[in-house]
Amino acid sequence: MARKKVVAGNWKMNLTPSKAESFIGEIKDKINTDAVEVVLCVPYVNLATAQNALKGTKIHVGAQNMHYADEGAYTGEISGKMLAEMKVPYVIIGHSERREYFKESDTEVNIKSLKALKNNLIPIICIGETSKQRNSGRTFDVVRKQLSVALDDMTADDVKKVIIAYEPIWAIGTGVTATKEQAEEVCAAIRKQIEEKLGKSVADSTRILYGGSVTPDNAKELFNMPNIDGGLVGGASLKTSFEQVVRFE
Ligand code: PGA
C-alpha cells in the first residue's frame, strides 16, 4: 500500500489562543483534504482551541513535545498520558530546537518516543545534522546514530507507526532549503537503515518527512521525491499560503 503523505505544521512558540482560533478559521477549509494527512502541531495552550476550531474537518492536532513520565514532580512539563486523554494523536519529539536549547539527548528522544507509542500517540521524531557536520562529511553518520538510538527497543509495529522527520539544522528557519537531491539521499538512507533493522515491509510503511525552510515554492519538488513522504513545516505553516504547501501536487 502506498504511504499516505503527511504535511505537519510546526507552529513553535507562536500564536496566542485567540490568534490561533482566528488563523485556523482562515485556513481550515483550504487545508481540509483527504489527499494528505494534515497535522497542526500547536503550543500546549492552543490544543483545545485548535481541536474545537477544527471540529468537522479531517485536520489533526499535534503537540510539540512531551515528558517521558506519566506524571510526577516535573514542574512545567506535560505528559504523553495527558495528551492521550486530550485525544491529541501526534507529538513532535526531539526537534533540533529542543535538542539545542533544552539539551535533549538521543536517549531521551528514544524514551519519549517509546512512551508516546505506549500512549497510542504517533511520535514525529526529528533528526538532522548541523552545517558543520555536513561540511565535514559526517551527515550520514550523524543521522544514522540519531536514528539508531531513537528506534532502540521499538518493535516492527512501532516503527511502522512512527514518523521520521529529517530536518537538517542548517535549513531550519534559514531560508536555505536542502535541494531535493540532498533531502532524498538522506531520506533514502534512513529508509535503508530501517530496512536493515526490521525488513523491507516495515521500511516501506514508515513515513519519512523532510523539514527545513519548506515553502509553497519548493514543497512540490521535495514531497514528490520517492523517499520523501511530506514535510514538517515551520514558518510557512503560520501563513495562509500554507494551503499551497498542503496542496503541493
Ligand atoms: P522552518 O522550520 O520550516 O521554519 O524552517 C521547520 C521546523 O523547525 O520544523
Listed in sequence order, the residues at least 6 apart from 209 whose beta carbon sits closer than 8 Å to its beta carbon are 6, 8, 124, 163, 164, 165, 166, 228, 229, 230, 231, 232
Q: Looking at residue 52, what is its pLDDT?
A: 98
Q: Which residue from 233, 92, 221 is spatially nearest to 172, judged by alpha carbons?
A: 233
Distance 95 CA to ligand 1 centre (A): 10
Query: Would the CB of 233 count as within 6 Å of ligand 1?
Result: yes
Pick the atom of ligand 1 nearest to 211's CA. 6
What does the pLDDT look like over 90-141, one tens digit per residue?
999 999 999 999 999 999 999 999 999 999 999 999 999 999 999 999 999 9
* pLDDT tier for residue 164 given thresholds of 50, 70 and 90: very high
Does the structure show a pLDDT above 70 at 4?
yes
Q: Looking at residue 2, what is its pLDDT?
A: 86
Distance 230 CA to ligand 1 centre (A): 13
Q: Which residue numbers are catalytic?
A: 95, 167
Query: Would the CB of 100 count as within 6 Å of ligand 1?
Result: no
Q: Looking at residue 26, what is its pLDDT?
A: 98
Distance 199 CA to ligand 1 centre (A): 31
Does the structure show a pLDDT above 80 at 1?
no
Mean pLDDT confidence for 176-200: 98
Residue with CA nearest ligand 1 atom 7: 234
Query: Would the CB of 177 count as within 6 Å of ligand 1?
Result: no
Pick the atom of ligand 1 nearest to 92's CA. 9
Query: 4 with 206: CB under 8 angstroms?
Result: no
Residue with CA nearest ligand 1 atom 6: 234
Pick the atom of ligand 1 nearest to 12's CA. 8
Query: Would the CB of 234 count as within 6 Å of ligand 1?
Result: yes
β-strand partners of 122:
90
Does the structure show a pLDDT above 90 at 249?
no
CA 115 to chain centre: 16
Residues of the chain above pLDDT 70, percent = 100
Distance 189 CA to ligand 1 centre (A): 21
Distance 235 CA to ligand 1 centre (A): 6
Mean pLDDT confidence for 156-167: 98
For ligand 1, pick from 93, 213, 242, 244 the residue to mutate: most ligand atoms within 8 Å of CB.
Answer: 213
